């Protein structure tokens, strides 16, 4: 059992390294929205020229990790990794996707004296879970932020993990904002 555990740990450790490298190289997802610290937020907000009719909003993704549907995420992240494989030096994208599939669909954990298999959501406690969720969330953000209906009114949109801060410039016609 110990050897199997160590082998699994090595696979997950290598996967974490590959996904982390991938997420760094795929930084275009994060550059647009992710906040590094509250100091960076202050530095970013200070010079902003915010119109008087602007509305500041916040959002929090409820149960972000557990609400990510595994098969949907595997398809979305897999397609994105394949489409951007040129950014992933020294990484076999198909092997990375296969490893993600293996890990996210086979998470077994011990609670008390019983073993359980997690069947929904992001595999909790595995090293690449944070990058997995960030990439998944970032891909949805790219789609949302590039929407021509919202783009002209979204003065600011920044995210820190699952918390969002934004500034919305209302349309002249209030019915359109609804």
Reported as a pLDDT band with limits 50, 70 and 90, residue 72 is very high
pLDDT value at 62 more than 90: no
Angle between helix axes 129-145 and 70-83 (nearest 10 degrees) is 70
Task: For residues 79-90, give the mean pLDDT.
Answer: 80
Per the DSSP assignment, residues forming a β-bridge with 56 are 167
Q: Give the residue with greater pLDDT, 59 vs 27.
A: 59
pLDDT value at 146 more than 80: yes
pLDDT value at 28 more than 60: no
Q: Give the residue with greater pLDDT, 93 vs 10.
A: 93
pLDDT value at 2 more than 60: no
Computed over every residue of the chain, the mean pLDDT equals: 78
Task: For residues 53-75, give the mean pLDDT.
Answer: 90
Q: Give the residue with greater pLDDT, 3 vs 30.
A: 30
Euclidean distance between CA atoms 57 and 115, whole angstroms? 42
- What per-residue confidence (pLDDT) applies to 145? 83
Task: For residues 111-131, give the mean pLDDT.
Answer: 85
Q: What is the 3-state secondary structure (H, E, C) of the chain?
A: CHHHHHHHHHHHHHHHHHHHHHHHHCCHHHHHHECCCHHHHHHHHCCCCCCCCCEEEEEECCCCCCCCCHHHHHHHHHHHHHHCHHHCCCCCHHHHHHHHHHHHHCCEEEECCEEEECCCCCCCCCCCHHHHHHHHHHHHHHHHHCCCCCHHHEEEEEEECCEEEEEECCCCCHHHHC
State which of 6-10, 48-52, 108-112, 169-173 shows the largest mean pLDDT: 48-52
Task: For residues 99-116, give the mean pLDDT.
Answer: 88
Both structure tokens of 116: 């359980």
pLDDT value at 42 more than 70: yes
Euclidean distance between CA atoms 101 and 71, whole angstroms? 8
């Amino acid at each position: 059992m110990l050897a199997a555990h160590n082998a699994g740990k090595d696979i997950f450790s290598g996967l974490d390294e590959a996904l982390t490298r991938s997420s760094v190289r795929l930084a275009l997802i994060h550059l647009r929205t992710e906040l590094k610290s509250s100091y960076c937020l202050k530095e970013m907000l200070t010079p902003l020229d915010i119109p008087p009719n602007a509305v500041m909003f916040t959002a929090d993704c409820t149960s972000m990790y557990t609400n990510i549907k595994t098969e949907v995420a595997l398809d979305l992240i897999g397609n994105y990794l394949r489409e951007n494989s040129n950014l992933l030096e020294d990484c076999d994208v198909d092997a990375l996707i296969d490893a993600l599939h293996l890990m996210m669909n086979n998470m077994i954990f011990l609670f008390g004296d019983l073993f359980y298999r997690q069947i929904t959501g992001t595999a909790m406690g595995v090293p690449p879970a944070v990058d997995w969720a960030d990439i998944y969330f970032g891909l949805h953000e790219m789609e949302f932020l590039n929407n021509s209906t919202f783009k002209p009114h979204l003065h600011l949109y920044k995210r820190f993990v699952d918390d969002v801060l934004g500034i919305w410039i209302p349309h002249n016609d209030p019915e359109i904002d609804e």
